[in-house]
Structures are given as structure tokens and as C-alpha cells.
Amino acid sequence: MPKKPYKLLISLAAVLAAAVALFAWFGRVKPIEVIVKPIAFGKVQHTVANTRAGTIKACRRAGISPSIGGQIAGMPVKEGDLVKPGQLLMELWNHDRLAQLELATSEADAAAANARQACIRADVALREAHRLMQLKKSNLASDEAADKADGEARAQQAACNAARATKKVSEAKIRLVESELEQTRLTAPFAGIVAEVNGEIGEFVTPSPVGIPTPPAVDLVDVGCLYVSAPIDEVDAPQIRVGMPARISLDAMSQKIFAGKVRRIAPYVLEREKQARTLDVEVDFLCPEECEGMLPGYSADIEVIIREQDKSLRVPTEAVLEGNKVLLFTSDNTLQQREIKAGLSNWEWTEVTEGLSEGEEIVISVDREGVEDGVAAVRDKND
């Protein structure tokens, strides 16, 4: 064979081999990057959470209004003010009742003076009757004079008693007018924050008709005592008991978890949705001082701790696939599916009672495309 064609064949073979090698290089399966986590011991809890967002509520909240109608003459508070028990919130025009109180007070003073006068006369008449009775025993006073003095003493005592009764009537009249005057003044029944005020000076307010609710004159909220009310699915509710520990989280304070305790479980099921029946569960904050800055109406979630183990072999719940299976990251950089037996579980951790050992590594990025049993994998560089 000529030398030139021979060299050409060698060149073609080399090009073909290079092409095959290049095709194999680009056609090979690239390992999938996964996030792995070593299995270790730790605390595992079985918890129950609310199905819909709960709400922070105040232990005491009152929408209060005057018991009578009238014109608003004074409103010394505004929305957002912190008030003390008994502090005046609103006052209706009451000049007529103030005048009645002044009149009743004057009448009571006059009645008290008359009672003192009558009782002094009764004391004088009684001493005179005793004196004449002594003189009568010594035959120094007639029977007629002694009897007359005795009758006068009894009459003066009766006048004293009548004057005292009149004084009591006057004092009762003062209390009556004071109670009528009190109806024109709206005061705080407890310490709290004025959440809403409905009315302005000069406007008229009227009591709510029977069966027709109207906005309260003042909405008063005790923010010193707050709790969370949240709906729990009827399937989970039987596991919950009053006094169980709980965790509380707020959208408004997303970086903080608050400790709580179940205070009440509603004794009835809500049927807002036929396919999602719930019970309201109330949870107290265990550290009320941490509630500073919270407002009733904030959305909140609760997680009631049913049971817990302080030291259990656990895996992140997000790594557990359907059928209680996990993907192991093996020493030869492949993923191997393994079935486990699970114990306690919540949204964060799942207890492993069988199937895994401490130190083994499992994949937690199971939602990535291509992550499945038997594929080649490498650790995520950003993990």
C-alpha cells in the first residue's frame, strides 16, 4: 500500500476515536447536587397545629355605652389612651342632675339640723319628766304635772325619731340623685387601652334598642392579658388537654416563638365548612411580659405539644417520602432508598425507631428534579 493513503487512514481513525470519546464525554449523566444531613439524636415532639390562622384576643374587652341617652358634654380620652379603673371616659350633659344633687344635699343638711333640734328637745323633756317623777315620790309635785311631763317627753322623743327618719329619707334622696348623675358619666370598668371612640362633643347618644346592636361609645381593651384562639381540626382535637404546653408564632413577629399553655377547649364543633369541621382552642402566653407591643387582632398560629422524647434518633420531616422512605447518600456517591419505621413526628423532626443508624447521611433536598433511588449525586456546594 502506498505510504500516503496509509497515513490518511490513520488520521481518519484518530479523528473517529476522538469523536467517539467526545460524544461519550458529553453524553454521560451528570451527578445531581443534593443537600445532605447526618442523622443524629435530639428532641422529637408530636404536635398538633391549627388548620387556619388564629387570632390574638384580650382576656377582657368591653364595648361600653351610657345607660341613658343624652348630649355628649365631655370626652377626656381619645383612641390609644391608657386608662385606669374608674377613670372618666365620657360625660353627658347633666346640669339638671347636678342642681338636683345640690338641692338634695341642702335638704339633707336641713333635715339633719331639724333632727338635732328635735332630739335636743326630747332630751330636755325626758330630764324634766324624770325630775317631776322624783318630786312626785316626795309629794312635791302633783300627779297631773308628772303625767304631763311624761307625755311631753314621749312626744318629743317621737318628734326626734321622726326627724331622724326624715334625715335618712334625705340621705337616700342624695344617693338616688347621685346614681342618676352617675348614669351620665361613663367610666372605665378596668385598666386598658381605648381602642375606639364613637362620638364627639355635642353629639347625642341613645341606648341600643332591644335586639338591635349599635356601636359602643367606647371600646376598651385590657392588653395586659392576651391569649390566642385558633381552630383545630376535629380529628386532632381529642388528643388535646387543658394545661398542655404549646408554641405560639406570629406573622407580626416572625423571628420569635412564644411559650404557651392550653387554657380552654371549646365544647362544640364549628361547621363553617362541611368538609373541615374544627374546634376552637385557646392558648395563654406563659410570659405575659413578652407580649409588650402585641395588639388584639394579630394573626397567630399555635402548635400544641402532645408528646415528646428528649433523646431520639431523628431525621428532618422534609426528608421523609411517601411510605416512610428516605434517600441515603452512600459512600460511593449514589442515592439509595431505604424504608424506615417512624415514631413521633411533627413538621420539623420525625423519630426513627428502625431502619437508620446515627451518622448516616440522608438527602433533604428531595424535591429537586432527578433526585431518586440509584442516581449519582454530589454534595451541594452551597450546603
pLDDT of residue 162 exceeding 60: yes
Would you state the pLDDT for residue 26? 46
Structural domain boundaries in the chain: 32-45+309-379, 54-60+225-308, 66-92+190-215, 94-183
Which tens digit of pLDDT belongs to each residue from 218-230? 999 988 888 999 9
Multiple choice CATH, 54-60+225-308, 2.40.30.170, 3.40.50.2000, 3.40.190.10, 3.90.1150.10:
2.40.30.170
Which top CATH class is 32-45+309-379? mainly beta
Would you state the pLDDT for residue 276? 74
Would you state the pLDDT for residue 8? 62
Place of cell 417520602: 321
Query: Which class for 324: exposed (0-12), middle (13-18), buried (19 or more C-beta within 10 A)?
Result: middle
Which tens digit of pLDDT belongs to each residue from 172-226? 999 999 999 999 999 999 998 998 999 899 999 888 777 677 888 999 998 888 8
Q: What is the mean pLDDT of residues 265-284?
A: 81
pLDDT of residue 165 exceeding 90: yes
Q: What is the mean pLDDT of residues 29-42?
A: 85
Which tens digit of pLDDT belongs to each residue from 227-255? 999 999 888 889 999 999 999 999 888 88
Q: Among the listed ranges 74-78, 131-135, 142-146, 378-382, which one has the minimum average pLDDT value?
A: 378-382
- Residue (of 32, 29, 28) closest to 379 by Cα position: 32
pLDDT of residue 334 exceeding 70: yes
pLDDT above 70 as % of the chain: 91
Is 54-60+225-308 in the same CATH topology as 32-45+309-379? no
Q: Which residues contact 20 (CB under 8 A, 6 or more apart)?
A: none
CA 272, 274, 276 angle in degrees (round to 5)? 75
- 3-state DSSP assignment of residue 77: coil
